[in-house]
Structure 1
Amino acid sequence: MTRPAPFRTARVAWRHSLRFRLALVYTLVALALISVIGLGVMTLLLRSMDRQFQARLNDRAEVVAERFQNLKLGLGEALPPISGYTAILDEENRVVAAARGMRLTQGEPFPYAGQTRLEVLGTPMRAATRPAGDFGTVWVALPEEDLVVARQSAMRALLLALLVTPALMLIVGLWVGKRALADLETAADLADRIDPTRSVATLPLPAREDEVHRLLAALNRLLVRIEAVQAREKQLLGQIVHELGAPLTVLKASLARASERGDDPEVVRAALVADELTFTTQDLMQLARGHLEMKVAWHFIPARALRERLDRLVPGTAFEGNWSGMLLCDPDRLTQALRNLLANARRAAGPEGHVTLTLTETAEQVRFTVRDSGPGLPPELGEQIFEPFISGSGSSGLGLSVARQIAALHGGTLTGGNAPGGGAQFVLTLPSAALGDEEDEAEETGLPVLGSAP
């Protein structure tokens, strides 16, 4: 397992946010409902106003016609005051008499004959006719300005509601969604902070037993099962490594004695294979124990000593850079990490390829660069190459994962990629540490107590 990077709460982009999608859906639904209901109410209201206006016009026309048909009815009484126009027409629709405001003369053809909606002097009107006995036909028109204004006001109110209400609904929906999903967001933030190398923690449950509560409870049960499975896997892995350790120790000792008695190349090859299996079991043991159980034994050693150990473990490696300095590290752990990188590089380069290990040091860090002449890393793997059991070269897939974990334990990093000239390149960096003569310098660096070099 790799050491987790510093945790940062991941924020979901607004366009992918569940809260935004819910608020948007509610807004669109509200817009549709307001449109349908608003249009329905406005249509009913305008129809009611139109019927009232038509009834008012018909009443006016009937009253005027009745006055002409029965002169004794309402004798001496004036018509109710109303803004409108009245005219008397003969059988040929010629003007017999007309209101002064219409500017019509007696005997001329009536210009509005047969029209129910018209404009008189720029004013929208609605007209009705009634028979007036011997006088002819009564024509009465009333202005529709109030009805037109009401219709326009209703349309403006509806448009304003369609514009303002969705914006308010979206804002309110986002606020309500934030409060409703606050527990889920808190759980997601906590899940981002869970360190799988320590323990699988459970997520806090909200007080309300709603859908969010059920989801988080199900996730907690899943986390408990995952932790149980991980514990069983580590236990099984540890038992396997333990069973392999004793036979490998006997095998290495036997091969060492055999190599002392002669220079048989098959014995030397078998010894290298035994070393390979030993390192593989060490990687498996480290994976089984987990990151926290690893201990770092700090030593201040010559870089040359590290080079000699690596040269014996991975023959054919070309060492470049400055190896005359001193290193503050755990020699066994660092040897294991670099050996894993070199073994992978040798496997990728093949017997005829080249593998180089370059050491460079600055005031801030020590850098180990492993480069090979192989085909390079598969681009589709990316950072997955550092995950356990992920391999692009046919190996166990543990070496790079363990190497990165060892680098993190030293406070360093391990990165990988393809070199500009071809082949793979891995860079392992460690913090540079120099021993000063004064105790204050040691205290300022915060370094642990150093042991003697092996």
Structure 2
Amino acid sequence: MTRRPALRTARVAWRHSLRFRLALVYSLVALAITTVIGVAVVTLLLGSMDRQFDARLNERADVLAERFTNLSKGLGERPPPITGFTVLVDDQGRVALSSNGLGLQPGEPFPQVSTHRLRLQGTPVRAVTRKAGGFGTLWVGLPEDDLIAARESALRALLLSALVTPLLMLLLGYWAGRRALAGLGQAADLADRIDPTRSLATLPLPEREDEVHRLLAAINRLLVRIEAGQAREKQLLGQIVHELGAPLTVLKASLNRAAERTGDAEVSRAALVADELTFTTQDLMQLARGQLEMKLVWHYIPAKTLQGRLDRLVPGTEFQGDWTGGILCDPDRLTQALRNLLANARRAAGPEGSVSLTLEETPEQVRFTVRDSGPGLPPELGERIFEPFVSGAGSSGLGLSVSRQIALMHGGNVTGGNHAGGGAQFVLCIPGAALGDDQEDPDDEGETEEDPAALAAARP
């Protein structure tokens, strides 16, 4: 029985998405352009208004000064309307004449005659002076209220455009990017659903032959090349393992017979090395065939039978728990999975260390716990320890990956970590015999096409 977790489509967070980054870039560009153009326009506008204000002030001062200089000019003409402030100051700096509203008395000193910007009665005033013939100096000022109000209005408009324009650009850019990149997003969703254990499927191409079309077409060509390369690698690996399996089986059997006949410790160690190589070829065969290409051969075996196998394969293992019951499993595959866990534990613990295998069985679950007295798992590896060719103890890196694959084929799993008391601990769980009624009849499964050499090595 094989249980496989459902593949879930990985969604990209909005702040990490390409369309958001593009919209953000466009918004920042829009902000820069709006700010530069707005500052330039406001500067020109305010400069023009300032020049118009100065021209108006100078014109009024010239007209009034001309009337004081040329008394005959303008006789019978109506004087211009009085706007702003006007003060006639004599040569001693005293007020000779002032416009209404200033509250200045004749003969009163007027020290502001040389000041061109000041506040009168709480109003900002800009002023100029002119010679008034023999009457002294004419001081003419105009209030800047309107000019200041216009400047503030222009700055507020600039600030509002700097805030609103990027926000609108961000929203519009995100919406436009979402529509423009919709094909790419759909392709990413489909690529997420590709199962690497199956034949790789190509991605559908959009109707419009744009950059997205070119990218997806290139990805499809890459997928075809990857699938062809995987097929060649799998075929080559299977051929190599098959060629190695038979000689290793003969070598292992010969060394075992020689060890039994002579009792030589060196021959016994050589037989163990042959065992190691045999199981490595089995791991490679498992990797080459993949989980979907293999079927389990179910048997109900006594737990003692499994214990005997493992005791011969990994000597020095301490067996704990209750081994008097029975287990529904593929004996060869389960032996291979547990042997890999025990071999890794023995390698980590060393010759003087301890390795234990604890069996806990319930009607719903069979739980094997492998614990060693070694240094434990490297914390930086995490779940990567179950990936092929990733090893934290100098091994081939296939054992844990194959053990998890076999557990998944049984409907269980393998988890690993460090024990609180020190050392590493791996737990392999498979469904208990009580769940066997819901499984397919083992006789209906049929025997799988296994490598004879690999099966001979797995069975004691």
What's the TM-score once normalised by structure 1's chain length?
Answer: 0.86
Equivalent residue number for residue 439 of structure 1: none
Query: Does structure 1 conserve the Cα–Cα contact (< 8 Å) formed by 2:321 and 2:359?
Result: yes
The Cα offsets for residues 306-346 of structure 1, whole Å up to 9 and x where unpaired, read as: 22332333333222112222322222211111122222223
- Mapped partners of 2:3, 2:229: distance in 1: 20
Could you tell me how far 1:112 is from its partner in structure 2? 2.9
Equivalent residue number for residue 186 of structure 1: 186
Equivalent residue number for residue 440 of structure 2: 448
- Mapped partners of 1:58, 1:260: distance in 2: 124
1:30 aligns with 2:25: no
Could you tell me how far 1:369 is from its partner in structure 2? 0.7
Distance 1:202 1:82, change over 3 A: farther
Counterparts of 1:136-285 in structure 2, within 5 Å, are 136-252=136-252, 254-255=254-255, 268-285=268-285
Could you tell me how far 1:236 is from its partner in structure 2? 0.8
- Mapped partners of 2:66, 2:19: distance in 1: 69
Q: Residue 196 of structure 2: SS of its match in structure 1? A: coil
Larger mean Cα displacement after TM superposition, 229-238 or 192-201: 192-201
- Mapped partners of 1:298, 1:287: distance in 2: 21
- Mapped partners of 1:97, 1:112: distance in 2: 14
Query: Does structure 2 conserve the Cα–Cα contact (< 8 Å) formed by 1:3 and 1:291?
Result: no
1:396 aligns with 2:396: yes
Distance 1:259 1:141, change over 3 A: closer
Distance 1:435 1:106, change over 3 A: closer
Q: Residue 434 of structure 1: SS of its match in structure 2? A: helix
Equivalent residue number for residue 352 of structure 1: 352
- Mapped partners of 1:46, 1:197: distance in 2: 70
Q: Residue 338 of structure 1: SS of its match in structure 2? A: helix
Equivalent residue number for residue 9 of structure 1: 9
The Cα offsets for residues 223-249 of structure 1, whole Å up to 9 and x where unpaired, read as: 333222221111111111121233234
The total of aligned residue pairs comes to 444
- Mapped partners of 2:138, 2:395: distance in 1: 107
Query: Does structure 2 conserve the Cα–Cα contact (< 8 Å) formed by 1:31 and 1:165?
Result: yes
Equivalent residue number for residue 374 of structure 1: 374
**Structure 2: stretches of 5+ with no match in the other structure:** 445-458
Structure 2 counterpart of 1:52, which letter? Q
Distance 1:100 1:377, change over 3 A: closer
Structure 2 counterpart of 1:49, which letter? M
Distance 1:421 1:110, change over 3 A: closer
Equivalent residue number for residue 326 of structure 1: 326
Counterparts of 1:414-429 in structure 2, within 5 Å, are 414-429=414-429
Distance 1:376 1:135, change over 3 A: closer
- Mapped partners of 2:51, 2:309: distance in 1: 104
Structure 2 counterpart of 1:448, which letter? E
Equivalent residue number for residue 339 of structure 1: 339
Equivalent residue number for residue 451 of structure 2: none
What's the TM-score once normalised by structure 2's chain length?
Answer: 0.85
Structure 2 counterpart of 1:342, which letter? L
Query: Does structure 2 conserve the Cα–Cα contact (< 8 Å) formed by 1:298 and 1:448?
Result: no
Q: Residue 375 of structure 1: SS of its match in structure 2? A: coil
- Mapped partners of 2:440, 2:216: distance in 1: 42
Distance 1:397 1:106, change over 3 A: closer
Q: Residue 328 of structure 1: SS of its match in structure 2? A: strand
Could you tell me how far 1:434 is from its partner in structure 2? 0.9
Q: Residue 107 of structure 2: SS of its match in structure 1? A: coil
Larger mean Cα displacement after TM superposition, 392-401 or 168-177: 168-177
Distance 1:411 1:82, change over 3 A: farther
Query: Does structure 2 conserve the Cα–Cα contact (< 8 Å) formed by 1:83 and 1:143?
Result: no
- Mapped partners of 2:372, 2:137: distance in 1: 111
Equivalent residue number for residue 116 of structure 1: 116
Q: CA RMSD in A?
A: 3.1
